Amino acid sequence: MGKTVLDKGWLAARSTEVEINGVQLTTTQPPTQPLNSPWMEAAVPGTVLGTLLKNKLIPDPFYGLENEAIIDIADSGREHYTFWFFTTFECKLSNNQHVDLNFRAINYSAEVYLNGHKEVLPKGMFRRHSIDITDILHPDGQNLLAVLVYPPDHPGRIPPEGGQGGDHEIGKDVAAQYVEGWDWMTPIRDRNTGIWDEVSITVTGPVKIVDPHLASSFFDGYKRVYLHSTVELVNKNALVAECSLNIQVSTELQDGTFLVEHLETQHVSISVGATIHYTFPQLYFYKPNLWWPNGMGKQHLYNVEITVNVKGYGESDTWSHHFGFRKIESHIDSATGGRLFKVNDQPIFIRGGNWILSDGLLRLSKERYKTDIRFHADMNFNMMRCWGGGLAERPEFYHYCDLYGLLVWQEFWITGDCDGRGDPVSNPDGPLDHDLFLLCARDTIKLLRNHPSLALWVGGNEQVPPPDINAALKNDLQLHPYYMNSNNSGTSTITPVIKDPSQYLDGTRVYVQGSMWDGFADGKGDFSDGPYEIQNPEDFFKHDYYQYGFNPEVGNVGMPVAATIRATMPPEGWQIPLFKKLSNGYIEEVPNPIWTYHKYIPYSKPEKVHDQILLYGKPKDLDDFCLKAQLVNYVQYRALLEGYTSQMWSKYTGVLIWKTQNPWTGLRGQFYDHLLDQTAGFYGCRSAAESIHVQLNLATYSVEVVNTTSEELSNVAIEASVWDLEGECPYYKTSEKLTVPPKKTISTFEMKYPKSKNPKPVYFLLLKLYDVSDNHIYSRNFYWLHLTGGDYKLLESFRERRPPLKITSLTFIKGSSYEMRMHIQNTSKKPDSNTPLYRNNFIRRNGSCDELDSSESFDLLEKHEISLYEKIRRNFSKEHNKAKVSEVNGTGKGVAFFLHFSVHASKEENKKGEDTRILPVHYSDNYFSLVPGEVMTVTISFEVPPGVTPRVTLHGWNHHDVHTVL
């Protein structure tokens, strides 16, 4: 019973090199072992290109210019990327059992052969296929499976000048459109041909469960909720099936203990060979635990299990899914014109990013998805937009969005560049087969609709679908009356005559026809998203920076660290740009050809923005360039989000950054690179998108407090201190007690230091928002600033002023998992002052600290750290805990600037240029700075490959020697 995933033991061969047919392959002449040419180990799930790369038959298309050495399907013909995939599996049935062979997605069409029998899988990249194979399994249980996969019908040709979507021919198919290349992506040579998603067999009894739909409705101010459930049942038996249909709802309490909250049983009779849709009586919950987006509350998930038992047989099939009780609404806000989202009746200011897919070769995995989604949650984002030129994302993606609280905007496969505009002008009528598009859309809706993270459907990117498709989607996705916007949801009543919401295809989420319509951008479809390049940081705060209420795309730079450049490019790609001075005084960056190929976006915009890297002095080499780029990344993205949040609700309802990552080794618009190392922009976003945040308005120099929570923030104050390059504190101010209303940004006082007598040309500003009663820090924000018209070149000599540090580490080890608590203290001398400057570093706590091996080194812990430590300690055995104190001697006092941890594999001898980083690593903070006497805590977690000993290092702007702290 149940599902078996077929993801191992696959072979592949180019169809033109296989001289026998599918019947012969799956009867008398299967591929033999060991592998004989043309057969090779296959990547399933995966693509043809992924299989060729796995066998080292092509160079790595993500490395340097190697993609140019791979033949494009436009030049080779479709036959070159038409491939056989072959495997064997065991399946022997008992009496009255049935089995289906399932393909969750293939690209683009296929012929399936099983034990000599042929089935055709029709076209479409985003549709599921299920074949009843009960009668063609071998009696001995050994089965031979071969699949001949064909590329998209219209793979297109790449014009010499490239462009958005190549020649746009791919838009004629129902397939991902990015594969012909974009301004952030080079072409994918096989156009993602392959069995790119899960293959499985499912064994059931005589009755099968198909595509249950779960929905919930709320009443009495969210105290009362009803769970609605409709399920499709298929009777494969030759007799009438008398069924006992059960639904069970449970919730996990702790440590794997579950509480069953509902268990309902219904009797159903199903005729011979019939398919029915059965709707359960609604289940009632009182004061359920709600699912909230990231930053608004916990992501409570219930487990819903549906089981069908057949009289005379027993359990026939079972289905389970996590489900979150929540209500998502949105409307066009009258004050801003932007689309305003509400979750469980609470407005949510959207701060998120655009998402393409994890990997351009569709090497998708649960592990990669988990890291991707956790990274977005770590940045304090609350929404991800799945862009229309990419994928209908997979259930595993949505699973982690459910767990981490990321709302998802899911687009269908329309984008203006391939569907009505561009050069050459593309087909304005969308894909050629509109019925196929709608079939794929409806199947995708059924696949994803039960995930609480799914927030809205959107017709397309910068374009609406053709009128007939758009009308059909509007009709299919019309809202059920329960989900209409209501200003008085607490007084709603159940009306029995209303159709049960679970009987809709969806009906619980809004459908918006395009990414620049109906409350997004100008709302009318005109080009009004962007901009997509470097900006003056202060411009983000100006009222005229962006005209509309919700910006679905605003892009910027994304240079990774130098180690990533060396790992993904040959030495000729390590050359930094030339800085060409123009007659107007601006600088034009001229990158090397490999950077150009990898879509590098410059750090200057002649006529508007002076080169932001040169503000720190001309870089000497790759390491210097990339370090200065990280400074700019941090400033750019923090300013971007702070600028939007500064005008929360008064001008804006949300912003989505273009984009959060690249599905290959690109050099623009990313917060972590394709190798999963974060840029400093990641931590600039993490700071700016805090639920409670103190910030400097770079246009007015007023200090602002942001409260995006639903609770009033009272009895708080702001501490502002300015630090010069000599380690002195020439400016210090604390505010009066403040009260910050919920969902509000307030302006407090002007930071007047730049207007004071003899201000320093370059200085640091530390802002802290703290609780007056116990000095607990709600938000800490560190800036480096220069006077108007100045630059940061004085920071170059500041690199030699190295303050001493003390790093106390506690390491928890469980198998290959490491969890580290790092306390970093700047031990340089504090300036003489009578101010309470250091009172709110941390709260001195005793209690649990005496259980640590080095308690006196850990007596500075914040309240929330105690509980976090206890949680970690319970999951790691005490025998594998390690404590260590590291001293980093210094040559001067002052700010320890732009400190950065990294984790490496410890080796006695490293090959020159070898990338020793262990990735991914999750840091609670990185690229941080400490003023004299200040202490900070950083949590680091990572997995170590087998046989590898990790080494944790720390370096920074004025700690350029690498210090090993573990």
Q: Which residues belong to the active site?
A: 462, 553
Q: Cα–Cα–Cα angle for 618, 621, 623, nearest 5°?
A: 110
Contacts 24+ apart (CB under 8 A), 469-473: 469/430, 469/434, 469/437, 469/438, 469/441, 470/513, 472/438, 473/412, 473/438, 473/441, 473/511, 473/513
Q: Which DSSP category does 837 fall into?
A: T
In sequence order, which residues have a C-beta less than 8 Å from that of residue 395 and are 6 or more positions away? Answer: 447, 448, 451
The rounded Cα 432 to chain-centroid distance in angstroms is 32
Helix (H) or strand (E) holding 939: strand 935-943
Q: How far is CA 657 from the centre of its chain?
A: 12
d(CA 181, CA 1): 44
> How far apart, in whole angstroms, are the C-alpha atoms of residue 895 and residue 761?
16
Instruction: Match 């009182």 to its residue by tokens.
Output: 286
Give whole-number Cα distances, 354 to 118, 314, 405, 417, 655, in Å: 41, 47, 16, 17, 10
Q: Give dist(CA 323, CA 926) in Å, integer.
A: 34
Rounded to 5°, the CA angle 446-451-457 comes to 65
Are 781 and 696 in contact by the 8 Å Cβ rule? The answer is yes
In three-state secondary structure terms, 692 is strand
Which residues are bridge partners to 102 per DSSP? 130, 200
Q: Using alpha carbons, list the distances in angstroms from residue 827 to 782, 784, 899.
A: 18, 20, 15
Pairing of strands 713-723, 738-740: antiparallel
- Sort residue 538 into left (φ over 0), alpha (ψ -120 to 50) or beta: alpha
The answer to whether the CB of 899 falls within 8 A of the CB of 936 is no
Q: Which two tokens stand for residue 311?
A: 């009289």
Q: What are the DSSP E strand ranges found in 280-422?
A: 283-286, 302-310, 314-323, 328-332, 339-343, 346-348, 350-355, 383-386, 407-411
What is the CB-side half-sphere exposure of residue 766 using CA atoms within 13 A?
26
Structure tokens at 799: 């690199």
Q: Are 108 and 125 in contact (CB under 8 A)?
A: yes
- The pair of three-digit structure tokens given for residue 270, joined into one six-digit string: 């199903």
CA separation for the pair 245, 267 (Å, rounded): 6
In sequence order, what are the residues at sequence separation of 6 or more whose Cβ sits closer than 8 angstroms to the Cβ of residue 922? Answer: 374, 375, 378, 939, 940, 941, 942
The Cα angle at residue 845 between residues 840 and 849, in degrees rounded to 5: 135
928 contacts 579 by C-beta, under 8 angstroms:
no
CB 85 within 8 A of CB 39: no
Which strands form 702-707's sheet, in the order they lie side by side? 692-696, 702-707, 744-750
Tokens representing 872 are: 């970690």
Beta bridge partners of 226: 217, 284
Going by C-alpha positions, the residue among 384, 264, 262, 251 that lies closest to residue 323 is: 251
Cis preceding-peptide flag for 496 (omega within 30 of 0) = no
